[in-house]
Amino acid sequence: MAGSVVILFDFDRTLIEDDSDRWVITNMGLKELFHQFQHALPWNSLMDRMLEELYTQGKTIDEIAECLKGIPFHPHVIAVIKSAHALGCDLKVVSDSNLFYIKTILEHNGVYNCFSEITTNPALVDGGRLRIFPYHDAASSHGCDLCPPNLCKGRVIQQIRSSISENESKRIIYVGDGMNDFCPTLKLVAGDCVVPRKNFPLWGRILKNSQLVKAKVYEWEDSEDLARILLKLINSKSIEDQISLSTTQS
């Protein structure tokens, strides 16, 4: 049964075809300021500084949202999200973007309600200005050398795992592309699956450290490829569960 499948998606260059932070920087005229500060500030603080500049320029939150709605979101990915949700899979986003960007894009493409949880950097409106804050409190380090200080995706995987009852047979499928997707990959166990984007940092890291990865690896190149692989994995788990149920009842 597909209800025994939990699919965790990275967001930038995985669910969507671009990087949401860089999309705003490029399309709202912030490239020069970005290059000025990119080596001086942590990424979260840098993005907050970019949004401060937009506010100073008189740009509204609605204008930022309209910019985000232009990010490419492949129809095949939208279709597989809807299919997986309809089949009963538990879909979640784990991303180093921010909640405003992710929610805006998912709502615009009609799939926001398909996700049960979005773990990302919080965003809030402060006097008409959009603010970005780290997911993990900067004052208390998560202690992971593989992840940026604002978000350890591996810790998120552990929290999800701990919420699953010992009596439940759940398969976690993790889909990602970036270097910060390697830590959660290492938290997967036998029976889980990791789906790295080919020729992206996560894929390369897995190739170099395959002995550390317990999950099965299914690489993908484009959105059509990703949709095909996910449906195959969902269906295979459903068949396994049906066989297990039949064996138990016989």
Give the C-alpha separation, 88 to 154, whole Å.
24
Residue 177 counted as an annotated binding residue: yes
**Pairing between β-strand 129-132 and β-strand 171-176 as defined by DSSP bridges:** unpaired
Of 12, 48, 90, 192, catalytic: 12
Of 10, 48, 90, 192, catalytic: 10
Biggest distance spanned by C-alpha atoms of the chain: 70
Residue 96 counted as an annotated binding residue: yes
Of 72, 74, 64, 66, nearest in space to 25 by CA: 64
Give the C-alpha separation, 123 to 135, whole Å.
10
18 noted as active-site residue? no
Name the token pair of 158. Answer: 């552990």
Residue 145 counted as an annotated binding residue: no
Integer Rg of the chain from CA = 19
Amino acid at site 139: A
End-to-end distance of the chain based on CA atoms, in angstroms?
18
Place of tokens 């965003």: 123
Residue 90 counted as an annotated binding residue: no
Residue 12 counted as an annotated binding residue: yes
Q: What is the DSSP string of 120-168?
A: EE-EEEETTEEEE--SS-TTS----SSS-TT--HHHHHHHHHHTS-TT-
145 noted as active-site residue? no
Sheet of 115-121, strand order: 115-121, 90-98, 5-9, 171-176, 193-196, 216-217
Cβ atoms within 10 Å of 176's Cβ, excluding its own? 29
Catalytic residue ranges: 10, 12
Pick out the residues of the known binding site for Mg(2+).
Answer: 10, 12, 177
